[in-house]
Structure 1
Amino acid sequence: MVRLKDAPKAKSRTRRVGALLAAVASIAGMIFAAAPATAAPATATAATVAGYPTSTFPIVVGASYYKGTVTWYNRSVGVTGSFKAVGCRRIYAEAWAGDTYLDTVSSSTWCDRSGPASFSIPADVVGGANELYIWMTTGDPDYFLEGVVCHRGVSVCVPF
């Protein structure tokens, strides 16, 4: 039998290619098997956000309401909620750090509609805000209907 000069190399190359393909398949298997573990950072991020103190509140005036959650961040206060306006209503939020007024924000006037309503109130002081007033008015901003006061570290806001 005549042996070709490159025959052993061809066999060796085939083995190397086969080994390389097996290694690639093994790595791909590890990557796909680890996919659920890569979801952990998203959960950790949610846990980090959840690490900020929160307070819940309801403001109910007849069939109108604004119900939601206050999140106390270090340099701001986040308010997320569900707003339903029967007639014309408006929501205000005012942040304080002790005796220091920080800022007031408001929604636009809503008339006979509902949906999500969120605010971010700047609290650019060391430690952020520790007190937040939220209140509902009619379409006339001077006509107060109902309100709550929320305190950092207290899970439920109380009427004022």
Structure 2
Amino acid sequence: MWRKSLLALSTFALAIGATTATPAQAAAYPTSTFYTSYGNNVVKGKITWYNKSAYIEGTIKSASECRWAYVEFRNGRDSVGRWFYPACGGDSRSFSDKFDTPYAGGFTHAKVWIGNEVDGVRWNGDQCRRTSSTCWDL
């Protein structure tokens, strides 16, 4: 009797083990970290590169007047850019957005500037490549 119970218990344990799946590990996507400043104004954050898109998240800090972050993503075929809402008068503001492209492989590089949307001026910036975890001055 105990052999039947042991056999039944072993069969049950094997069945449970066979149907219990471990969670799939998330794919590791490349990231790039940027930091650029103009005086005491700062734009910093991270870009995550996906197959047909890129996601940017960051913070802009203004020392006094309003300052904007401008981001432009490029590949060999298209360019997508936009201004992010300003930080003004010593404030910090977070920003994030997803940029899409219809082309496989996604964007190859990005440029992130600190500037003034009112007159379209871009002062200092960083350039980031999909293949590098850090960005460098433009």
Fold in common (TM above 0.5): yes
Q: What is residue 52 of structure 1 aligned with on the other side?
A: 29
8 Å contact from structure 1 (residues 105, 121) kept in 2: no
Q: Which amino acid aligns with 2:51?
A: N
Q: What is residue 98 of structure 2 aligned with on the other side?
A: 120
Give runs of aligned pairs for residues 5-154 of structure 1, distance below 5 A: 41=23, 44=25, 47-48=26-27, 51-86=28-63, 87-98=65-76, 100-112=77-89, 113-154=91-132
Q: What is residue 32 of structure 1 aligned with on the other side?
A: none
Separation (CA, whole Å) in 1 of partners of 2:99 and 2:132: 18
Q: Which amino acid aligns with 1:70?
A: I
8 Å contact from structure 2 (residues 87, 93) kept in 1: no
TM-score where L is the length of structure 1: 0.65
Question: Structure 1 residues 122 and 141 mapped into 2: Cα distance closer, same or farther (>3 Å)?
Answer: farther
Partner deviation per Cα, 1:88-134 (whole Å, 9 max, x = no partner) = 11111111112x22311220233122132112222221110011111
The Cα of 1:139 is off from its aligned counterpart by 4.7
Q: Which amino acid aligns with 1:115?
A: R
Q: Secondary structure at the match of 1:109?
A: strand
% identical equivalent positions: 29
Q: What is residue 11 of structure 2 aligned with on the other side?
A: none
The Cα of 1:137 is off from its aligned counterpart by 0.6
Larger helix percent:
1
Q: What is residue 11 of structure 1 aligned with on the other side?
A: none
Instruction: Specify every segment of 5 or more residues in structure 2 that has no aligned partner in the other structure, as ranges.
Output: 1-20
Separation (CA, whole Å) in 1 of partners of 2:87 and 2:59: 12
8 Å contact from structure 2 (residues 56, 96) kept in 1: yes
Instruction: Specify every segment of 5 or more residues in structure 1 that has no aligned partner in the other structure, as ranges.
Output: 1-37
8 Å contact from structure 2 (residues 60, 86) kept in 1: no
8 Å contact from structure 1 (residues 90, 141) kept in 2: no
TM-score where L is the length of structure 2: 0.74
- More contact order relative to length (CA 8 Å, sep ≥ 6): 2
CA RMSD of aligned residues (A): 2.2
8 Å contact from structure 2 (residues 75, 108) kept in 1: yes
